[in-house]
């Protein structure tokens, strides 16, 4: 088990004032089968009253409305997560994680990767577990990509990313999800934080023996106690940390994000 102190901050700047700003946030890590989260504090600027609910994927969802003109929107989330990957609690899975989602529908490039992965899986010992199979997929996905910031967008599909053989963690996860679901594995997308300084991260979980087990295709390794889960779903679209709409004239926006996770002695 590790005690991880986290601080996630997002700053959004607008080139001219906007009004009628409605937003939805999924930015709070929640207590779940592999982590316990305490001392969470959320700060918003401008200050606004939030409505808080839990969605069908067990993510905390905060919504708000800012009618007044403003040129920036900032929020931060701080807290402590006790992560224990060695003692993940059992959890019932949803059948929907076996099937294609909007961003993971395979095309010719992914279909070719599926065949390669099937051959590797067929070569495993007969007692190979779903996690063993997923590790074969993860290795092939890792080898298929060159990590390239700004080479894709949040709308890029798994097929599009793999076809250009470059992307970011979201793309690695989407391709792995697509392949896993077509070799018979139940798999879901995870949005979260990783030990250190930087941005948010994405990885995959495979369902095995009533538990979700994490694999990180961007780094080609198993998920350990250095990872904090924020949200999970079928793909990125179920786990968007922030989304919003507003009114304005020829408005350009720029975003700054920083995620900080550091271990603290127990």
pLDDT in tens, 208-239: 999 999 999 999 999 999 999 999 999 999 99
pLDDT digits (tens, 9 = 90+) for 240-250: 999 999 999 99
Residue 36 falls inside a structural domain: yes
Same domain, 125 and 201: yes
| Closest to 184 in 3D by CA, of 136, 227, 221, 224 | 136
Full residue range of the structural domain in which residue 22 is found: 2-85+241-263
Same domain, 9 and 109: no
Same domain, 100 and 178: yes
**The pLDDT of residue 94:** 85
Q: Mean pLDDT across the stretch 181-190?
A: 97
- Strand arrangement of the beta sheet that strand 201-208 belongs to: 221-222, 211-216, 201-208, 187-194, 227-233
pLDDT at 2 over 90: yes
Looking up residue 52, the CATH number of its domain turns out to be 2.60.40.2250
Same domain, 111 and 154: yes
Residue 199 falls inside a structural domain: yes
pTM: 0.96
- Banded pLDDT at 93 (limits 50, 70, 90): confident
pLDDT digits (tens, 9 = 90+) for 14-42: 999 999 999 999 999 989 999 999 999 99
Same domain, 196 and 253: no
Looking up residue 108, the CATH number of its domain turns out to be 3.10.620.30
> How many domains does the chain contain in total?
2
pLDDT digits (tens, 9 = 90+) for 100-136: 999 999 999 999 999 999 999 999 999 999 999 999 9
Residue 90 falls inside a structural domain: no
Specify the length of the chain in residues.
Answer: 266
Same domain, 223 and 211: yes
**The pLDDT of residue 222:** 98
Same domain, 77 and 103: no
């Amino acid at each position: 088990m590790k005690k991880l102190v986290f601080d996630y901050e997002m700053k959004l700047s607008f080139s001219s004032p906007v009004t009628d700003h409605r937003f939805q946030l999924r930015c709070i890590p929640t207590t779940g089968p592999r982590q316990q989260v305490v001392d969470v504090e959320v700060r918003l600027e401008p200050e606004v009253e939030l409505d808080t609910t839990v969605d069908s994927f067990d993510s905390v969802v905060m919504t708000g409305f800012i009618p007044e003109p403003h040129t920036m929107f900032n929020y931060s989330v701080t807290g402590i997560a006790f992560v224990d990957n060695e003692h993940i609690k059992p959890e019932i899975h949803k059948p929907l994680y076996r099937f294609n989602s909007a961003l993971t529908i395979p095309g010719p490039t992914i279909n070719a990767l599926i065949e390669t992965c099937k051959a590797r899986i067929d070569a495993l010992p007969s007692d190979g577990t779903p996690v063993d199979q997923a590790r074969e997929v993860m290795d092939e996905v890792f080898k298929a990509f060159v990590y390239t910031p700004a080479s894709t967008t949040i709308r890029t599909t798994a097929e599009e990313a793999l076809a250009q053989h470059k992307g970011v963690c979201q793309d690695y996860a989407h391709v792995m999800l697509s392949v896993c679901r077509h070799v018979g594995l139940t798999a879901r997308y995870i949005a979260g934080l990783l030990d250190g300084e930087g941005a948010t991260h994405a990885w995959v979980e495979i369902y095995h023996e009533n538990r979700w087990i994490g694999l990180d295709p961007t780094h080609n390794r198993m998920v350990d106690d250095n990872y904090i889960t924020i949200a999970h779903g079928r793909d990125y679209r179920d786990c968007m940390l922030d989304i919003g709409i507003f009114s304005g004239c020829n408005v350009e926006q720029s975003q700054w994000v920083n995620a900080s996770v550091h271990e603290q002695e127990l």
